[in-house]
Structure 1
Amino acid sequence: MGRGIFGSPVVGYVNAGAARLIHAPVLGPLVRRSMVVIRYTGRRSQQTFETPVNYQRSGNDVVIRVMAPDQKTWWRNFTGAGGPLTLTDFGGADRTGHAVAERDDRGRVTVRVRLDTGSGAD
Protein backbone atom coordinates (compact mmCIF):
# COMPACT_ATOMS: atom_id res chain seq x y z
CA MET A 1 0.00 0.00 0.00
CA GLY A 2 2.38 2.74 1.09
CA ARG A 3 3.84 3.28 -2.39
CA GLY A 4 3.67 6.88 -3.53
CA ILE A 5 0.52 8.97 -3.60
CA PHE A 6 -1.72 5.98 -4.39
CA GLY A 7 -1.09 4.42 -0.98
CA SER A 8 -1.57 7.65 0.93
CA PRO A 9 -4.61 9.23 2.61
CA VAL A 10 -4.75 11.68 -0.32
CA VAL A 11 -6.34 8.96 -2.44
CA GLY A 12 -9.16 8.62 0.07
CA TYR A 13 -9.89 12.34 -0.22
CA VAL A 14 -9.76 12.25 -4.02
CA ASN A 15 -12.08 9.23 -4.15
CA ALA A 16 -14.50 10.83 -1.70
CA GLY A 17 -14.53 14.02 -3.78
CA ALA A 18 -15.17 12.06 -6.99
CA ALA A 19 -17.98 10.13 -5.33
CA ARG A 20 -19.60 13.39 -4.21
CA LEU A 21 -19.42 14.73 -7.77
CA ILE A 22 -21.08 11.58 -9.10
CA HIS A 23 -23.99 12.04 -6.72
CA ALA A 24 -24.22 15.85 -6.97
CA PRO A 25 -27.63 17.11 -8.11
CA VAL A 26 -26.40 19.45 -10.85
CA LEU A 27 -23.08 17.96 -12.00
CA GLY A 28 -23.92 14.34 -11.22
CA PRO A 29 -25.74 13.53 -14.47
CA LEU A 30 -22.78 14.82 -16.50
CA VAL A 31 -20.17 13.05 -14.39
CA ARG A 32 -22.13 9.75 -14.44
CA ARG A 33 -21.74 9.57 -18.23
CA SER A 34 -18.18 8.34 -17.71
CA MET A 35 -17.75 7.72 -13.98
CA VAL A 36 -19.45 5.41 -11.50
CA VAL A 37 -18.86 4.13 -7.98
CA ILE A 38 -18.32 0.37 -7.85
CA ARG A 39 -19.06 -1.69 -4.74
CA TYR A 40 -17.45 -5.08 -4.18
CA THR A 41 -16.40 -7.48 -1.45
CA GLY A 42 -12.69 -8.12 -0.94
CA ARG A 43 -11.70 -11.73 -1.62
CA ARG A 44 -9.54 -12.08 1.48
CA SER A 45 -10.93 -9.49 3.87
CA GLN A 46 -14.61 -10.07 3.04
CA GLN A 47 -15.05 -6.33 3.65
CA THR A 48 -17.22 -4.20 1.38
CA PHE A 49 -15.41 -1.49 -0.54
CA GLU A 50 -16.53 1.34 -2.81
CA THR A 51 -14.36 3.22 -5.28
CA PRO A 52 -15.09 5.62 -8.15
CA VAL A 53 -13.92 4.53 -11.61
CA ASN A 54 -14.13 5.75 -15.18
CA TYR A 55 -15.94 3.43 -17.55
CA GLN A 56 -17.22 2.90 -21.07
CA ARG A 57 -20.46 1.06 -21.74
CA SER A 58 -21.71 -0.91 -24.70
CA GLY A 59 -25.07 -2.59 -24.06
CA ASN A 60 -24.71 -4.96 -21.12
CA ASP A 61 -20.91 -4.69 -21.13
CA VAL A 62 -18.93 -2.16 -19.12
CA VAL A 63 -15.19 -1.65 -19.59
CA ILE A 64 -13.04 -0.13 -16.85
CA ARG A 65 -9.46 0.72 -17.76
CA VAL A 66 -7.37 0.79 -14.60
CA MET A 67 -4.94 3.69 -14.53
CA ALA A 68 -1.64 2.97 -12.71
CA PRO A 69 -2.66 -0.65 -11.97
CA ASP A 70 0.53 -1.48 -10.08
CA GLN A 71 -0.35 1.25 -7.58
CA LYS A 72 -3.88 -0.07 -6.98
CA THR A 73 -5.21 -3.27 -5.51
CA TRP A 74 -8.99 -3.21 -6.02
CA TRP A 75 -8.90 -4.80 -9.48
CA ARG A 76 -7.04 -7.85 -8.19
CA ASN A 77 -10.30 -9.03 -6.65
CA PHE A 78 -11.46 -9.76 -10.20
CA THR A 79 -8.52 -11.77 -11.58
CA GLY A 80 -8.95 -15.37 -12.69
CA ALA A 81 -12.63 -16.27 -12.83
CA GLY A 82 -13.54 -12.76 -11.64
CA GLY A 83 -16.29 -11.92 -9.21
CA PRO A 84 -19.47 -9.97 -8.57
CA LEU A 85 -19.67 -6.20 -8.23
CA THR A 86 -22.30 -3.49 -8.14
CA LEU A 87 -22.26 -0.26 -10.11
CA THR A 88 -24.07 2.22 -7.86
CA ASP A 89 -26.71 4.56 -9.25
CA PHE A 90 -25.91 3.38 -12.76
CA GLY A 91 -28.59 4.60 -15.14
CA GLY A 92 -30.82 5.48 -12.19
CA ALA A 93 -30.44 2.21 -10.28
CA ASP A 94 -27.77 -0.02 -8.79
CA ARG A 95 -26.68 -2.62 -11.36
CA THR A 96 -24.98 -5.89 -10.53
CA GLY A 97 -22.65 -7.79 -12.77
CA HIS A 98 -19.70 -10.13 -13.06
CA ALA A 99 -16.27 -8.53 -13.48
CA VAL A 100 -13.08 -10.07 -14.84
CA ALA A 101 -9.72 -8.27 -14.77
CA GLU A 102 -7.08 -8.93 -17.41
CA ARG A 103 -3.54 -7.59 -17.79
CA ASP A 104 -2.17 -7.30 -21.31
CA ASP A 105 1.44 -7.83 -22.41
CA ARG A 106 2.13 -4.10 -21.94
CA GLY A 107 1.01 -4.18 -18.29
CA ARG A 108 -2.31 -2.41 -18.85
CA VAL A 109 -5.28 -3.71 -16.87
CA THR A 110 -8.85 -3.80 -18.10
CA VAL A 111 -11.80 -4.91 -16.01
CA ARG A 112 -14.72 -6.12 -18.12
CA VAL A 113 -18.12 -6.26 -16.47
CA ARG A 114 -21.06 -8.20 -17.87
CA LEU A 115 -24.16 -6.63 -16.33
CA ASP A 116 -26.79 -8.99 -14.99
CA THR A 117 -30.05 -8.78 -16.88
CA GLY A 118 -32.98 -7.54 -14.83
CA SER A 119 -30.73 -5.93 -12.16
CA GLY A 120 -32.02 -2.42 -12.67
CA ALA A 121 -32.63 0.15 -15.37
CA ASP A 122 -31.13 -0.21 -18.86
Structure 2
Amino acid sequence: MGRGIFGSPVVGLVNAGAARLIHAPVIGPLVRRSMVVIRYTGRRSQQTFETPVNYQRSGSEVVIRVMAPDQKTWWRNFTGGGGALTLTDFDGADRTGHAVAQRDDGGRVTVRVRLDAS
Protein backbone atom coordinates (compact mmCIF):
# COMPACT_ATOMS: atom_id res chain seq x y z
CA MET A 1 0.00 0.00 0.00
CA GLY A 2 1.34 3.47 -0.90
CA ARG A 3 1.87 6.25 1.56
CA GLY A 4 -0.66 8.49 -0.19
CA ILE A 5 -0.45 12.22 -0.62
CA PHE A 6 0.12 12.87 3.11
CA GLY A 7 3.42 10.99 3.03
CA SER A 8 4.60 12.62 -0.18
CA PRO A 9 6.90 15.54 -0.96
CA VAL A 10 3.78 17.47 -1.99
CA VAL A 11 2.87 17.86 1.70
CA GLY A 12 6.28 19.37 2.40
CA LEU A 13 5.69 21.94 -0.32
CA VAL A 14 2.21 22.74 0.97
CA ASN A 15 3.51 23.13 4.54
CA ALA A 16 6.34 25.38 3.37
CA GLY A 17 3.85 27.52 1.43
CA ALA A 18 1.53 27.78 4.45
CA ALA A 19 4.44 28.79 6.68
CA ARG A 20 5.38 31.53 4.21
CA LEU A 21 1.79 32.85 4.20
CA ILE A 22 1.82 33.06 8.00
CA HIS A 23 4.84 35.36 7.85
CA ALA A 24 3.82 37.35 4.76
CA PRO A 25 3.69 41.12 5.39
CA VAL A 26 0.19 41.85 4.06
CA ILE A 27 -1.76 38.61 4.43
CA GLY A 28 0.16 37.22 7.44
CA PRO A 29 -1.89 38.93 10.17
CA LEU A 30 -5.10 37.54 8.66
CA VAL A 31 -3.68 34.03 8.27
CA ARG A 32 -2.31 34.05 11.84
CA ARG A 33 -5.85 34.36 13.22
CA SER A 34 -6.34 30.64 12.59
CA MET A 35 -2.94 29.22 11.63
CA VAL A 36 0.37 28.96 13.46
CA VAL A 37 3.64 27.09 13.07
CA ILE A 38 4.32 24.71 15.94
CA ARG A 39 7.80 23.60 17.00
CA TYR A 40 8.42 20.44 18.99
CA THR A 41 11.04 17.79 19.68
CA GLY A 42 10.38 14.27 18.48
CA ARG A 43 10.13 11.74 21.31
CA ARG A 44 12.28 9.10 19.64
CA SER A 45 14.47 11.10 17.27
CA GLN A 46 15.06 14.06 19.60
CA GLN A 47 15.06 16.19 16.43
CA THR A 48 13.29 19.54 16.29
CA PHE A 49 10.37 19.78 13.88
CA GLU A 50 8.12 22.60 12.71
CA THR A 51 4.76 22.29 11.01
CA PRO A 52 1.89 24.71 10.30
CA VAL A 53 -1.46 23.88 11.88
CA ASN A 54 -4.91 25.42 12.16
CA TYR A 55 -6.00 26.26 15.67
CA GLN A 56 -8.73 27.74 17.83
CA ARG A 57 -7.96 29.63 21.02
CA SER A 58 -9.95 30.00 24.20
CA GLY A 59 -8.05 31.98 26.85
CA SER A 60 -4.89 30.11 27.77
CA GLU A 61 -5.86 26.99 25.83
CA VAL A 62 -5.18 26.36 22.15
CA VAL A 63 -7.05 23.54 20.39
CA ILE A 64 -5.62 21.90 17.27
CA ARG A 65 -7.85 19.49 15.38
CA VAL A 66 -5.63 17.14 13.40
CA MET A 67 -6.85 16.62 9.86
CA ALA A 68 -6.35 13.06 8.53
CA PRO A 69 -4.62 11.91 11.76
CA ASP A 70 -3.86 8.41 10.47
CA GLN A 71 -1.77 9.96 7.72
CA LYS A 72 0.27 12.14 10.10
CA THR A 73 2.70 11.35 12.87
CA TRP A 74 3.51 14.64 14.59
CA TRP A 75 0.60 14.51 17.05
CA ARG A 76 1.73 11.14 18.40
CA ASN A 77 4.52 12.98 20.25
CA PHE A 78 1.81 14.34 22.56
CA THR A 79 -0.08 11.17 23.51
CA GLY A 80 -0.17 9.92 27.09
CA GLY A 81 1.19 12.62 29.38
CA GLY A 82 1.84 14.97 26.45
CA GLY A 83 4.86 17.15 25.95
CA ALA A 84 6.29 20.60 25.39
CA LEU A 85 5.32 22.58 22.31
CA THR A 86 6.13 26.07 21.02
CA LEU A 87 3.73 28.15 18.96
CA THR A 88 5.95 30.42 16.89
CA ASP A 89 5.16 34.11 16.52
CA PHE A 90 1.96 33.68 18.53
CA ASP A 91 0.71 36.91 20.12
CA GLY A 92 3.81 38.59 18.69
CA ALA A 93 6.27 36.18 20.31
CA ASP A 94 7.02 32.49 20.60
CA ARG A 95 4.71 30.96 23.23
CA THR A 96 5.39 27.68 24.98
CA GLY A 97 2.93 25.27 26.44
CA HIS A 98 2.11 21.69 27.32
CA ALA A 99 0.28 19.73 24.61
CA VAL A 100 -1.79 16.57 25.05
CA ALA A 101 -3.27 14.62 22.11
CA GLN A 102 -6.45 12.59 22.44
CA ARG A 103 -8.26 10.41 19.94
CA ASP A 104 -12.04 10.11 20.31
CA ASP A 105 -14.20 7.07 19.56
CA GLY A 106 -14.73 8.34 16.00
CA GLY A 107 -10.97 8.40 15.32
CA ARG A 108 -10.71 12.19 15.42
CA VAL A 109 -7.61 13.61 17.10
CA THR A 110 -7.49 16.82 19.10
CA VAL A 111 -4.32 18.33 20.56
CA ARG A 112 -4.96 20.67 23.48
CA VAL A 113 -2.19 23.08 24.40
CA ARG A 114 -2.20 24.75 27.81
CA LEU A 115 -0.10 27.90 27.29
CA ASP A 116 2.57 28.75 29.85
CA ALA A 117 2.22 32.12 31.57
CA SER A 118 3.74 34.85 29.40
What TM-score do you get using the length of structure 1 for normalisation? 0.94
Per-residue CA deviation, residues 90-119 of structure 1 (Å, 9 max, x unaligned), is 010000000000000000000000000xxx
Alpha-carbon distance between aligned partners in 1 of 2:101 and 2:64, rounded to the nearest angstrom: 9
- Unaligned stretches of 5+ in structure 2? none
Shift of 1:56: 0.2
Equivalent position of 1:49 in the other structure: 49
Alpha-carbon distance between aligned partners in 2 of 1:2 and 1:47, rounded to the nearest angstrom: 26
Shift of 1:2: 5.6
- Give yes or no for contact 1:65–1:109 (8 Å, CA) kept in 2: yes
Shift of 1:75: 0.1
Root-mean-square deviation (CA), in Å?
Answer: 1.5
What TM-score do you get using the length of structure 2 for normalisation? 0.97
- Give yes or no for contact 1:61–1:114 (8 Å, CA) kept in 2: yes
2:81 is paired with a residue whose SS is coil
- Give yes or no for contact 1:62–1:113 (8 Å, CA) kept in 2: yes
Q: Structure 1 residues 2 and 95, CA, compared in 2 at 3 Å: closer, same or farther?
A: farther
Shift of 1:43: 0.1
Q: How many pairs does the alignment contain? A: 118
Q: Structure 1 residues 29 and 105, CA, compared in 2 at 3 Å: closer, same or farther?
A: same
Percent identity among equivalent residues?
92
- 4+ residue stretches of structure 1 with deviation over 4 A? none
Alpha-carbon distance between aligned partners in 2 of 1:79 and 1:105, rounded to the nearest angstrom: 15
- Give yes or no for contact 1:2–1:8 (8 Å, CA) kept in 2: no
Shift of 1:3: 1.3
Q: Structure 1 residues 2 and 47, CA, compared in 2 at 3 Å: closer, same or farther?
A: farther
